[in-house]
Structure 1
Amino acid sequence: MEGIVLAIQEQRLRPGSKLPSIRKFAQNHRVSLFTVAEAYDRLVARGCLNAVPNAGFYVRGHVTEDVSGEQAAPEFDFDAHLLLHKVFQPLGMELRPGIGLLPEDWLDSEGLLRGLRSLAREEPTQFGNYGQSKGNPRLRGKLADRLADAGVAATPEQVLLTSGASQALDLAVRYFVQRGDPVFVDEPGYTHLFLNLRLQGARLLGVPRSADGLDLERLEELAREHRPKVFFIQARLQSPTGTSLPLATCHRLLQLAEKYDFLIVENDIYADLDTSGQLLLANLDQLARVIYIGSLSKIIAPALRVGFIAAHPELIKELVPLKIVSGLTSSELTETLALDILLQGRQRKHVRQLRERLSEAHETVARRLEAAGLELFHEPRAGLFLWARHRAVADSTQLAKQAKEAKILLFPGQLFMPDGRNVPWTRFNVAHSLDEQLYTFLARLNER
């Protein structure tokens, strides 16, 4: 393969040139027919060769060499579409303190490898169909058990598996929201949700988050005036502020939901990172007025894409057709892999170690940010995020632009505001904010 690629790059083999047949190549070089066939097939897959039926293999064109070394950072703006279109690309940044993922070496890679080995031993015929519309029954049962352990009485029939929590939110948005509908959201809150709601034509009503929870007075004012049908909320370890709702606030929120007749979609994707054992909105409500969304991707591996909705049985029945229309079924392969990882018995220990590691990172990063002249909105000491502002910076987008020049990707506050307005706050992921390069940049900023 390397020899043929080099010959194409050096134009000793030009586009359209025919390669020797598999049999002839094997005879000339005294190698197995299977070896040559495998090499040719891989070169076809890489786009180096074309396989012409009954004619042979032909050079497709010039092979682009891998570019190593330093590359210029691509151009991008700090707007909501950054998080939608480019956040999962490297973007030429050496450090990304605001990203919403755990570092790769913080994930349970050994558990994932064991699960993949176990999956490889399964009969291929097991995955010959699309799978069940609600998702893998055994995994739904396991998740129902986990909800029961958290005090939420749910049967497997009340659990709908999805392709990550993002699809779960999308199903909820499409089911509950029509064009022009007023919708409650956290302010600041989850950017991808805001984009989804805007595409659906919703009017976003931001309910301010405070260091100790939620502005309930503002919530009731908006409820009285606009009568929204639904509130999309992260009750604990919220992105971007890291705040969690106190128990009294949860009780009052459910009272207001009853009084003004709106439903609550509780996005609880960071539940495994919570060290407090706090009661959930779903726990207090028992899935009567609350629709609960969870995820396995955040802790196991982001690429796994396994999320779920737990709700009243009648609502689950109505969500299933929406799921089928948008993507038939969720992936039986990834659901089987996720189930195997949960059944290995490693997850409890991994989660406990991860919580301890994040707690230590919170303490380190909080003190370093304060020493660099930043004010903290709240200190959760758990989860991924700190929400902070520099006392000398009124618009965090300007701070992010300066950081970009130093190849540091900060996520400014405007990305998390329902109306997109500029604010002084910036989101920091403590697991990605331990690099000295970040604090060198902040020290130079202070000097300027």
Structure 2
Amino acid sequence: MAGTGEDLRATKADPAWPALPIDRQRRGSLVDQIVAAISGMVNRRELRVGTKMPSVRQFAKVNAVSTFTVVESYDRLLHLGVLSSRRGSGFFVARGPDATSPPCPTAFTGNLSAAVDALTPDLYSGQSDALPVGAGWLPPEWYGESTILDAVRHAMKIPAGRLRGYGHPLGFPSLRQHLAHTLSDELCAVEAEQLLLTNGATHAFDLVLRTLTRPGDVVFVEDPGYSNLLALVRHHGCVPVGIPRGAAGLDMEALAREAELHHPKLMFVNTVLQNPLGTSLSQAQAHRLLALAEAFDFWLVEDDIYRELAAPGEASLAAMDGLRRVIRIGSFSKTLSPVLRVGSICASGSLIPELVRVKMLTGLTTSEVNERAVFDAICSRAYRRQTERLAQQLIEAGERAQEKLVEAGLQPLARPRGGMFVSAGWTSPATAERNGRTIAERALRAGILLAPGEFFSLRPPQTPWFRFNVAYAHEPLLLDFLRAQS
């Protein structure tokens, strides 16, 4: 970027305002690139408070973009509090990098129409009568119902004395101690005081964003990646930048380029059995990722909720890093039941106190009854056998799902290494009439809940594809529907 903040402090915007480094070949919208670039200039003090921005037409001309793109970019920067507008005068930088009063975050603006967006509650509630092909949960019988029910019954016998107060701010001590012992045996040395229990993994992501970011910060996400996370990053007013992930893992060259350009605050990464692709990072990629995080000084938030379903010895960022700049997120929704809503944050001892403070400010303690139920379940003799059986069952169901989807005319985006999901679609380009969104709408009318690629990407996919839950991907109703769309 040519020019500095001092060059741009004139009363009127400099007609020679430098062009931004916009890459039209890169994934991610032009608006996202412009917002990230200007936010970065503010954070690096290249643009000072009070600096007047170019007019919409001037900015569009210098950067060879449409005025509509500039209007949308300025509007988003206004919502983020980076810019302010004065009637008749234009746009100005509203805050510096040390601002202490963050503005209200922007709402998530997705790519889905209202019809498909309305699918989201059904994909999570499990109460719909439609076939839940796109859901993130398994049939109850796959989890081992007796283990869960016995644990819940036992947890309900909580001592009367524990009914007073809110419980421990960090979460149920016995569960944290058990997790610390397990993680120390399997990944890296962990103390119970380094574990914070949460209401599931999404709550953990929210606490990390609340604690470590502020509006305008750049946050790296995998593209495609976890749909709720993409929405959550935007909700906090951060600027998501997608790092391509495919059959071979993360695009490390793209990650290096984006890190040098944007200087992110943190990156979320699903190391093993990634949602939605089902792939895992190699040891070499994990080492490269840690090296880039060190070189460009950003946090790595490891979404590790599928670890127990993966093969032993898969790459672990937390184990390689020793929790210096890695924050590990865990959950029991994939091995026990999503109803229990128990997750965890494992981080350095210096970071945990601030995460606890934010947890207490925003929701007080988590449910000790749920945490006791999880503790009883994972301490049972049946739990390890049950988890190993579930992992093998998912591998077999995944292989069967891939075969059936190929027979129906779809091609997998990647070959999963196990886990709950297979993503597949057609190779023909998406059109206005035939894309993931429109096909999902037709599927809903046919009694099928699909999760289109638009849920998991920062921009509309070039071809129609879907994330399939392997437990339901062999159903004749689904396969007949897919054949009819080919």
| Structure 1 residue aligned with 2:352 | 316
CA distance in 1, matches of 2:137, 2:272: 17
Which runs of structure 2 are paired with 1:98-137 in the superposition (5 Å)?
A: 98-137=134-173
Residue of structure 1 in register with 2:396 after alignment: 360
1:181 and 2:199 aligned: no
1:58-99 deviation line (CA, Å, top 9, x unaligned) = xxxxxxxxxxxxxxxxx95224x743x443346855312111
Does the Cα contact within 8 Å between 2:123 and 2:134 map onto a contact in 1? no
Cα deviations by residue, 1:164-197 (Å, 9 ceiling, x for unpaired): 1111110001111211111100001111111111
* Alpha-carbon distance in structure 2 between the residues aligned to 1:127 and 1:226: 48
Q: For 1:209, what is the secondary structure of its paired residue?
A: strand
Tell me if 1:258 matches 2:286: no
User: Using a 3 Å threshold, how does the CA distance of structure 1 residues 116 and 90 change in structure 2: closer, same or farther?
Assistant: closer
Residue in 2 that maps onto 1:143: 179
Alpha-carbon distance between aligned partners in 2 of 1:205 and 1:122, rounded to the nearest angstrom = 45
The one-character-per-residue Cα deviations of 1:124-150 (angstroms, maximum 9, x if unpaired) are 332322110101111101111121122
2:484 aligned with 1:444, yes or no? yes
Asked whether the equivalents of residues 127 and 332 of structure 1 are also in contact (C-alpha less than 8 Å), the reply is: no
Counterpart among 407, 410, 414 of residue 371 in structure 1: 407
Structure 1: gaps (5+ residues): 1-74
Report the secondary structure of 1:133's partner residue.
coil
Structure 2 residue corresponding to 1:78, chosen from 116, 119, 125: 116
* 2:425 aligned partner: 389
- Write the distance in 2 (CA, Å) between the matches of 1:418 and 1:135: 34
Write out aligned runs for 1:173-322 (5 A).
173-322=209-358
Alignment of 1:85-104 (within 5 A): 85-89=121-125, 93-104=129-140
Which residue does the alignment assign to 2:24? none
Task: Tell me: CA distance 1:92–1:307, structure 2 relative to 1, closer, same or farther (3 Å).
Answer: closer
C-alpha displacement of 1:416: 0.6
* Equivalent residue runs for 1:392-407 within 5 Å: 392=428, 394=430, 395-407=435-447
Deviations 1:171-225 (A, max 9, x none): 0011112111111000011111111111111111000002111001110111111
Render the CA deviation track for 1:306-344: whole Å, top value 9, x for unaligned: 100000001001111100011111111111111111111
SS at match of 1:78: helix
Distance (Å, rounded) in 1 between the aligned partners of 2:358 and 2:250 = 32
For 2:114 and 2:143, how far apart are their aligned partners in 1? 29
Q: Deviations over 1:9-43 (max 9, x none)?
A: xxxxxxxxxxxxxxxxxxxxxxxxxxxxxxxxxxx
Q: Normalised by the size of structure 1, how large is the TM-score?
A: 0.79
Give the TM-score of the pair, scaled to structure 2: 0.73
Largest Rg, 1 or 2? 1
The CA deviation at 1:154 is 0.7
**Per the alignment, in what secondary structure is the counterpart of residue 184 of structure 1?**
strand
SS in structure 1 of the partner of residue 197 of structure 2: strand
Q: Provide the aligned length of Structure 1 versus Structure 2.
A: 370
Structure 2 counterpart of 1:373, which letter? G
Structure 2 unaligned residues grouped into runs of 5+: 1-112
Quick one: distance in 2 between partners of 1:420 and 1:258? 32
Q: Distance in 2 between the 1:176 and 1:383 partners?
A: 30
Of 473, 479, 482 in structure 2, the residue corresponding to residue 433 of structure 1 is: 473
1-side partners of 2:463 and 2:396: how far apart?
Answer: 28
Structure 1 runs (4+) deviating above 6 angstroms are none
- Which amino acid in the other structure matches residue 300 of structure 2? I
Q: Distance in 2 between matches of 1:176 and 1:82?
A: 31
- Render the CA deviation track for 1:223-243: whole Å, top value 9, x for unaligned: 111111100111111111111
- Asked if the contact 1:272–1:351 (Cα under 8 Å) also holds between the matched residues in 2, the reply is yes
